[in-house]
Amino acid sequence: MGKHRAPGTESATHPWLRRATAAAAMLILVATALGGGAVYAINGLGKNIVALDTSDLNIQDRPETVVQTDTSATNILIMGSDSRAGSNGSYGNVEGARSDTTLLVHVYEGREAATVVSIPRDSFVELAGCKMLNGENSLPYKSKFNAAFSIGGPVCAVKTVEKLTNVRINNFVVVDFAAFKKVVDALGGVEVCLTTPAYDPVIPGQGGSGLDLPAGYSNITGEQALAFVRARESLGDGSDLSRITRQQEFIGSMIRGMTEKGLLTNPGMIYRVLSAVTSSITTNSEFASISALQNFALSLGSLKPSKINFVTTPYEMVGKGNVGWTSEADELWAALRMDEPWPPIAPAPSTTPSTQSSATPSATSIAPTASASPQPSSTPTEGTAATATCIKGNNRVKK
């Protein structure tokens, strides 16, 4: 079974997150520059943010952390929830919630560079003992990583990440289906492209995303956008890793759309997008306000997209569809704890000209790396690759 590690080359699958980081910071800056009435309205959106009780995190020793300032190193866990509760109930009669997307974001001291680690949902690990959603306490046991969110919500996911990595999570954020749709609708849709029609009907008791798209370009809005990023069997190779790649590309197209549609110069659109985002955020109390989010965004003012490094937890496939972390994962977590770049910086030869690849991080740069998840093929793949009318080099969404 092969082991997987992201090579030290710039990621082709994660440009959306680099753009998203910069766009988020700019969005907050523009919001604070708007007229008084608009600022008052935007500040009022803070009441939509859900703050969770995190007392369960403190019943045991947690990993150490530096004092948090606007320049200190910090770690944020970002989770995407597939809960069917409330307005998400139309997406199937599935009990509970799981976090199918989990990113550990380490921002280095000085807030000028970051490493973003994707944690595969099917990682077979030992979960932390948690206070369960039913009020009872669970003992540690082995299961797939996303079961932590299912039994104990985001707090249990945080406890599990800290247990597995010994990396302190300073803040966390959870977003859901509804928010995703609202943001896409607020932007007027996102353009995607397929080589062949994609049809993935919802079949009661069996699944399905509800995706129904023709070949070629389509500007898709909330419902179809959500179906596009949720679909598995009807697009790609049917694996979750393939779906993750498509989701990343979709967000890239969404961020490009923000720029093309003049989001940052359109107060009305800014308000709609902020309203959509804040209506979906669940976080810890320290992060649960517009001012806290604004201060964090402003602290990232010197974080350049070129200094954001994207990796997937080093892994190998074990058993039936399970992901096992390799010993290299321990090295990754140790680097984050020490606020050191990943991959490690190779020492430059002292007597001969440097033979380092241009992708190797320099002493002053945290270079982007490719994800260990399956990369898009350079040749069209039925149902997922760009058609001849799509821009070359892009498999699923317009670049």
pLDDT at res. 186:
84
Q: Which two tokens stand for residue 160?
A: 């599990």
CATH fold of 3-337 reads Aminopeptidase (3.40.630)
Q: Which amino acid would we find at residue 214?
A: P
Distances (CA, A) of 132 to 101, 129, 151, 176, 273: 20, 9, 5, 20, 33
Q: Which amino acid would we find at residue 319?
A: G
Distances (CA, A) of 40 to 34, 37, 275: 10, 5, 13
Q: CA end-to-end span of the chain, whole Å?
A: 34
The number of beta carbons lying within 10 Å of the beta carbon of residue 233 is 12
pLDDT digits (tens, 9 = 90+) for 35-89: 455 556 667 778 888 999 998 898 778 999 999 999 999 999 988 886 545 444 4
Residues β-bridged to residue 79: 102, 174
pLDDT at res. 230:
80
Task: Give the Cα separation of 399 and 395 in Å (integer).
Answer: 10
Q: Which residues contact 90 (CB under 8 A, 6 or more apart)?
A: none
pTM of the entire predicted model: 0.71
- Report yes or no: 194 and 379 within 8 Å, Cβ to Cβ: no
- The 3-class secondary structure across the chain, one letter per residue, is CCEECCCCCCCCCCHHHHHHHHHHHHHHHHHHHCCHHHHHHHHHHHHHCEEECCHHHHHCCCCCCCCCCCCCCEEEEEEEECCCCHHHHHHCCCCCCCEEEEEEEEECCCCCCEEEEECCCCEEEEECCCECCCCCECCCEEEECCHHHHHHHHHHHHHHHHHHHCCCCCEEEEECHHHHHHHHHHCCCEEEEECCCEEECCECCCECCCEEECCEEEEECHHHHHHHHHCCCCCCCCCHHHHHHHHHHHHHHHHHHHHHCCHHHCHHHHHHHHHHHHCCCEEEHHHCCHHHHHHHHHHCCCCCHHHEEEEECCEEEECCCEEEECHHHHHHHHHHHCCCCCCCCCCCCCCCCCCCCCCCCCCCCCCCCCCCCCCCCCCCCCCCCCCCCCCCCCCCECC
pLDDT mean for each 10 residues of the chain (399 residues): 49 48 46 50 77 87 94 93 52 54 91 89 93 92 94 95 97 86 85 85 81 89 86 70 68 67 72 77 89 81 76 86 93 97 78 42 29 31 41 43
